[in-house]
């Protein structure tokens, strides 16, 4: 006797209401994940800014220039 394919593994059809609830739950999960990623990005950008500031400070100190010389250069008032 031939069996019909998948006859034992049939599941009850999912209602539209259940599908809507599942999609809404996934949207909520993804919104939470997006919020967490945005927070992580904000922290990383702040860390990057801090590292860049430290690099600038180290370069200024290494240059041997005075504060006034550096400020004049940065403002573009050099002759």
Domain for residue 2, yes or no? Answer: no
Q: Which residue has the tokens 């006859």?
A: 7
User: How many domains is the chain partitioned into structurally?
Assistant: 1
**Is 31 a domain residue?**
yes
Cβ atoms 60, 70 nearer than 8 A: yes
Any domain includes 33: yes
- Chain centroid offset of residue 13 CA: 38
Among 45, 47, 50, 73, smallest CA distance to 60 is for 73
Q: What is the pLDDT of residue 13?
A: 78
Which tens digit of pLDDT belongs to each residue from 27-58? Answer: 999 999 999 999 999 999 999 999 999 999 99
Asked if the structure places residue 52 within a domain, the reply is: yes
Report if residue 6 sits inside a domain: no
Higher pLDDT, 28 or 1: 28
Q: Is residue 45 part of a domain?
A: yes
| 36 assigned to some structural domain | yes
Distance of CA 5 to the CA centre of its chain: 46
Give the separation between CA 63 and CA 70, rounded to whole angstroms.
9
Query: Does residue 18 belong to any structural domain of this protein?
Result: no
What value does the CA radius of gyration of the chain take, rounded to a whole number of Å? 31
Domain residues for 40?
Answer: 23-75
Examine the pLDDT at 11 and tell me if it is beyond 80: no
The confidence score (pLDDT) of residue 10 equals 66
Question: What tokens does 74 get?
Answer: 């940065």
């Amino acid at each position: 006797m031939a069996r019909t394919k998948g006859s034992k593994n049939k599941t009850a059809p999912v209602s539209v209401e259940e599908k809507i609830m599942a999609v809404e739950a996934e949207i909520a999960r993804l919104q939470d994940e997006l919020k967490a990623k945005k927070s992580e990005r904000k922290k990383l950008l702040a860390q990057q800014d801090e590292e860049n500031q430290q690099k600038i400070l180290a370069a200024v100190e290494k240059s041997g220039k005075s504060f006034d010389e550096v400020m004049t250069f940065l403002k573009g008032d050099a002759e």
